[in-house]
Amino acid sequence: MIKADRVVSTTCPYCGVGCNLQVHVKDDYIFKVTSPFDAVVNQGNLCVKGRFGYDYVYHPKRVATPLIRKTPQKPGERTQAFDRDEWREATWDEALDYVADRLVEIYQRDGSDAMSVYCCAKATNEDNYLLQKMFRALFRTNNVDHCTRLCHAGSVVALQQAVGSSAMSNTASEVVHNDVLMVVGSNTSENHPIIALQMKKAIREHGAKLIVVDPRRIDLVDFAELWLPLKPGTNVPLLTAMAHVIVKEDLVDHEFIRNRTEGYEDFVESLEKFTPEYAEEISGVPADDIRKAARLYAEAENGAIYWGMGISQLSHGTASALALIHLAFLTGNIGRKGTGLNPLRGQNNVQGASDMGAMPFHYPGYMLVSEEGNAQKWEAAWNIEPGGLSRELGLTTTEILTHAHPGGVRALFIMGENPMMSEPNLNETRKHMQELEFLVSQDLFINESGAFADVFLPATPFAEKDGTFTNTDRRVQRVRQAHPPRGQARADWKIICDLAQRIESRLGRDTAKWDYASPEEVFAEMASVVPDFAGVTYERIEKTGLQYPVWDKEHPGTPFLFAEFFPRGRGKFTPLDYVPAVEPVDDEYPFILTTGRVLEHWHGGTMTRHSQLNTLYPEARVEIHPADAELHGISDGMAVKVTSRRGEIVVRASVTEKTTVGVVFLPWHFHEAAANLLTIDALDPQAKIPEFKACAVQVFPARDSDLPNPDVVLERGRY
Ligand code: SF4
């Protein structure tokens, strides 16, 4: 039995649930992860990623020395260098001076619009706050974004529009107080496993009723009262038909409508055509089931809605989220414990990165960049001359790359993200990456995007740094260093401060202050300007964290929002129309492809594919329904080619009733069979989120020898 040198309490680096981890360390290696039964978020439960997925920290391919490309890269001819022989090792001084020189050269030649940065939903609040500060304060640009654009951007825009706040309204563990819960477009068991456990507990032990709205027969369907297997991309007609039933059958909470909302009359008028029969025709869900779901949710004492990417990752993601919000308004299922509108945020700190201003439209605290008063507050906080910060809205992640051309974006700094896996239509993304004049990657491994970089800055994972993450239900929690960084790797916040000082001196500007002694000081600077965090201190979040808003040092935090009013005043109804997915199926491409995650892996795979988790789930599989498989001569485990108008991959098929007829599913974690080679780059016009959940593909038999790794076979177990 190994005796730990120390046991360090920290927060899981994977999903937005934010489970507490106790990492057991011996000789500066983590050898075990546990969690205490009184952990406030997860009560001692951990999923396979949190329990076993920490070993990427010690993977031999992890980069722990600054690197510079041996061959200078030119726009249009930029290549990927995965091989370490194509890089030379550099000192930190040399690497940071080089990055500062090149960024300043491009900025002084082409101005603010040429500069851009991807912040990181896996990094801490402090890391993200500093990186957006660096680009805003020094390069005077709002071309600042991160992967929230690719996950819940539709939800964020809809919630801002309807209520004036974009976070989860309630606490995930309040699910045991729901008597009816609707889970829409969220494979919760694989993406937020501990919340799924709490949902099952609510059903088994507290008699809650579950409605699942999802094209796939996900695990939660086994626990559901009703499953509405809609065609991908038909949320708006289905959910609006539920609103139609609620209004027609007078299941409306009139007092709530009168006191708390606006726009109800126009909204009711817009419902006329959204009959359950109309929705059945479009979505494939029987009209009677739509009626039953509407009645069940509307008659609940405490009804709550939980949703995921199946709502937001569509070219009408904002409208889909609005359709859900309307249901809560109609029935008054918001503003009370055990109710609410709950977008389940994906990454460990996607909520925090958004809160910290890692977005093109907002400073920290969702303060619009275009409002003069907001800009003045941050100019004062960052010691910037009046009028110095840009008031122009910046470019989103999806737009930054499409603007990579002479006269547009020339320099991109990527902290911990991997657009060469996460963007749609990767063959196009590749061309955009090649057009960049200067690219910096700050990461752990040379991933598909870092391989394009000029300079690689080795950063630290969660186990080697201090700071905070904010989980999906707004809980700010501590991340603690378990052991020192490997090799010369440095914490992201330290790299950013060191680089910012070099840039500042080259620009000859007054200092915006970069000499922080600790992440705690960084957090305190942010909290001195953003009222939501005014009462959050490291001392107060030592044990269980605090759920913002926390208005002052005595405030206990806010488990649920909107008890008396919405931040925008009244909740706003918005009449909706049905807009189909951009690419319909046809004879050439007869299947709808929908993409997502599996339990064992995480996003582009930078962490989990360098972990023992990869041996548990080593290859991508395309799920196809038995009826479709038979028609196309496909058997379980057979190699198949999946093609779209944009690309093709070869994977094995899983023939399963988990997917529905006409719909195939692919996970997007596998670079050798990247699902995003197939996806379409159509965007939601407001949120600019791509349509990852619906495009047209063909599937036909291939040879085993066409597989990227023919010897690797998935045999999934249970953990
Ligand atoms: S549920 Fe999420 S936060 Fe919890 S252990 Fe799993 S990955 Fe980590």
Instruction: Give residue 242's Cα distance to chain centre.
Output: 28
- Give the pLDDT confidence score for residue 151 in this predicted structure: 83
Span from the CA of 12 to the centroid of ligand 1 (angstroms): 6
Span from the CA of 151 to the centroid of ligand 1 (angstroms): 18
- The CA-based angle 4-10-12, given to 5 degrees, is 110
The phi, psi pair for 695, rounded to 5°, reads: -150, 170
| Rounded average pLDDT over 363-383 | 97
pLDDT in tens, 458-513: 999 999 999 999 999 999 999 999 999 999 999 999 999 999 999 999 999 999 99
73-76, Cβ contacts within 8 angstroms, sequence gap of 24 or more = 73/439, 73/452, 73/454, 75/406, 75/410, 75/434, 75/435, 75/436, 75/437, 76/434, 76/435
Span from the CA of 49 to the centroid of ligand 1 (angstroms): 6
Ligand 1, atom 4, residue with closest C-alpha: 19
- Give the pLDDT confidence score for residue 640 in this predicted structure: 98
Dist CA 180 CA 304 (whole Å): 7
pLDDT in tens, 660-712: 999 999 999 999 999 999 999 999 999 999 999 999 999 999 999 999 999 88
- Give the pLDDT confidence score for residue 216 in this predicted structure: 97
Comparing CA positions, the residue from 419, 416, 398 lying closest to residue 462 is 416
Residues 6+ apart with CB under 8 A from 584: 696
Dist CA 292 CA 50 (whole Å): 38
Query: Quick one: how many helices (H) and strands (E) in the chain?
Result: 22, 28
Closest ligand 1 atom to residue 21 Cα is 5
Ligand 1, atom 8, residue with closest C-alpha: 50
Token couple for 117? 């940065």
pLDDT in tens, 412-427: 999 999 999 999 999 9
Share of the chain above pLDDT 70, in %: 100
Dist CA 153 CA 410 (whole Å): 25
Span from the CA of 65 to the centroid of ligand 1 (angstroms): 30
Query: 39: which DSSP letter?
Result: -
Dist CA 147 CA 688 (whole Å): 12
- According to DSSP, the residues that pair with 184 across neighbouring strands are 213, 307
Amino acid 569 reads: G
Query: 713 pLDDT band (50/70/90 cuts)?
Result: confident
Amino acid 164 reads: G
Span from the CA of 599 to the centroid of ligand 1 (angstroms): 10
Query: 352 pLDDT band (50/70/90 cuts)?
Result: very high
Ligand 1, atom 2, residue with closest C-alpha: 15
- Give the pLDDT confidence score for residue 718 in this predicted structure: 57
pLDDT in tens, 298-312: 999 999 999 999 999
- Give the pLDDT confidence score for residue 719 in this predicted structure: 57
Q: How far is CA 248 from CA 241, 268, 283, 488, 576, in A?
A: 10, 9, 20, 66, 17
Share of the chain above pLDDT 90, in %: 97
Return the half-sphere exposure (C-beta side, CA atoms, 13 A cut-off) of residue 246. Answer: 29
pLDDT in tens, 60-90: 999 999 999 999 999 999 999 999 999 999 9
Query: 148 pLDDT band (50/70/90 cuts)?
Result: confident
Dist CA 203 CA 194 (whole Å): 14
Check pLDDT > 60 for residue 284: yes
**Three-class secondary structure of residue 106 per DSSP:** helix
Check pLDDT > 60 for residue 392: yes
- According to DSSP, the residues that pair with 623 across neighbouring strands are 654, 665
Dist CA 433 CA 187 (whole Å): 32
Q: Which of 11, 19, 20 to mutate to test the pocket of ligand 1 (most atoms within 8 A of CB)?
A: 19
**How much is the mean pLDDT over the chain?**
96
Q: Are residues 435 and 450 in contact, defined by beta-carbon separation less than 8 angstroms?
A: no
Query: 215: which DSSP letter?
Result: S
The phi-psi region of residue 588 (left if phi > 0; otherwise alpha if psi is between -120 and 50; otherwise beta) is alpha
Closest ligand 1 atom to residue 192 Cα is 1
Query: 357 pLDDT band (50/70/90 cuts)?
Result: very high
Q: Are residues 177 and 560 in contact, defined by beta-carbon separation less than 8 angstroms?
A: no
Check pLDDT > 60 for residue 188: yes
- Give the pLDDT confidence score for residue 365 in this predicted structure: 95
Residues 6+ apart with CB under 8 A from 395: 116, 143, 145, 360, 403, 409
User: Radius of gyration (Cα) for the chain, nearest Å?
Assistant: 24
Token couple for 353? 């990165």
Question: DSSP string of 327-357?
Answer: HHHHHT-SSSTT-EEEE---BTTHHHHHHTT
Span from the CA of 677 to the centroid of ligand 1 (angstroms): 28
Question: DSSP string of 585-638?
Answer: --SSS-EEEEEE--TT--TTSTTGGGSTHHHHS-S-EEEE-HHHHHHTT--TT-
Dist CA 486 CA 488 (whole Å): 6
Asked if the peptide bond before residue 549 counts as cis, ω within 30 degrees of 0, the response is yes
- Give the pLDDT confidence score for residue 715 in this predicted structure: 80
Closest ligand 1 atom to residue 194 Cα is 1
Show the ligand 1 pocket: residues with CB < 6 angstroms.
12, 14-15, 17-19, 42, 46-47, 49-50, 193-194
Residues in the chain: 719
Instruction: Give residue 250's Cα distance to chain centre.
Output: 37
Q: Are residues 206 and 176 in contact, defined by beta-carbon separation less than 8 angstroms?
A: yes
- According to DSSP, the residues that pair with 441 across neighbouring strands are 414, 456
Span from the CA of 144 to the centroid of ligand 1 (angstroms): 27
Dist CA 478 CA 472 (whole Å): 15
- Give the pLDDT confidence score for residue 382 in this predicted structure: 98
Span from the CA of 50 to the centroid of ligand 1 (angstroms): 5
**Per-residue buried b or exposed e for 586-620, using 16+ beta carbons within 10 Å of the residue's own CB:** eeebebbbbbbbbbbbbbbbbbbbbbebbebbbbb
For strand 438-443 and strand 411-415, is the pairing parallel, antiparallel, or unpaired? parallel
Token couple for 50? 């949190």
pLDDT in tens, 442-452: 999 999 999 99
How many other C-beta atoms can be found within 10 angstroms of the C-beta atom of residue 301?
A: 12
Q: Which of 10, 11, 14 to mutate to test the pocket of ligand 1 (most atoms within 8 A of CB)?
A: 14
pLDDT in tens, 396-409: 998 999 999 999 99
- Give the pLDDT confidence score for residue 717 in this predicted structure: 65
Ligand 1, atom 6, residue with closest C-alpha: 47
